[in-house]
Amino acid sequence: MFLEEIKNKKEFRGLSDAFVSRVLLLCSTNYDVTKEKEKKMLVKEARAKLRELYSAYQLPGYSRKENYLKNMEHWGDKAVARRILSLHMSTKERVPYYDPLYAKLRKNVPFKTVLDLGCGLNVFSLPWMGYVAYYGIDVNKDDVDFCNTYLQKFGLQGGVRWGDILSVESFVHTDICFMFKMLESLEALERGSTAKLLERITSPYIIASFATRSLGGGKVISAKRLKWFKELVPHAEQFTLGSEVYFLIKK
């Protein structure tokens, strides 16, 4: 009942049931669901949490991405890809740094296959990344379908899967796994989830990133909050580009 009520709103319809259920479970500890008033409060809080974790990153004009893709004539068209990436807060902030990011990664890892967890629209960074077999996972079916349309339109290898990352039992083996600005959100849903993920990923290299500023490039976020991650992966190579700090991990 709660799941259906939450997903009745258009902005949440494409989200994985498992993901929405996980958010509901997290929020439900604060309410007595036998009381009608508290049921409504639970739904309200769960929707607010989903906006914080997902919807807040979609910028005005997000639906324009469909038309941009229709007009894209080559998979490596950076101009069109930039327009699409600029409709999502995370990738918009990363666009100016894709060249140095992928150059640095390739210097350390000559990758030909990529697994991108919580990928969002990051498949459209392929024009900077270069031709690879790209596999992604995301919680929003609309975004997953959109990304797959791009891959299929240009006959690119790979595919994007719809689902809740914490519910996935096994991942495809690739040369490198991307986890861009998603681990803190997962930890908020399930403490210790990062350690479990690292155990299940078979890719020999992982690149994880965290925001250094609040959403939209606002105030600086204290680096002390990442102490838990540095202790989890003590030998990771660390570097910063823009408002994102990256950790390159060799398993």
Task: Going residue by residue through the chain, which has 251 residues, state the pLDDT in tens, using 9 for 90 and above.
Answer: 678 888 878 888 889 889 988 888 888 888 777 778 888 888 888 888 888 887 777 888 899 999 999 999 999 999 999 999 999 988 999 999 999 999 999 999 999 999 999 999 999 999 999 999 999 999 999 999 999 999 999 999 999 999 999 999 899 999 999 999 999 999 988 999 999 999 999 999 999 999 987 665 556 667 788 999 999 998 889 999 999 999 999 98
- E strands along the chain, which residues? 113-117, 133-138, 158-162, 176-180, 205-211, 237-241, 244-250
Distance of CA 204 to the CA centre of its chain: 20
Q: The domain 62-250 is classified under which CATH number: 1.10.1060.10, 3.40.50.2300, 3.30.300.180, 3.40.50.150?
A: 3.40.50.150
Burial of 7 (0-12, 13-18, 19+ CB in 10 A): middle
> Where in the chain is CATH 3.40.50.150?
62-250
Q: What is the pTM of this model?
A: 0.90
Alpha helix (H) residue ranges in 13-140:
17-28, 36-53, 65-70, 78-85, 89-94, 98-108, 126-129
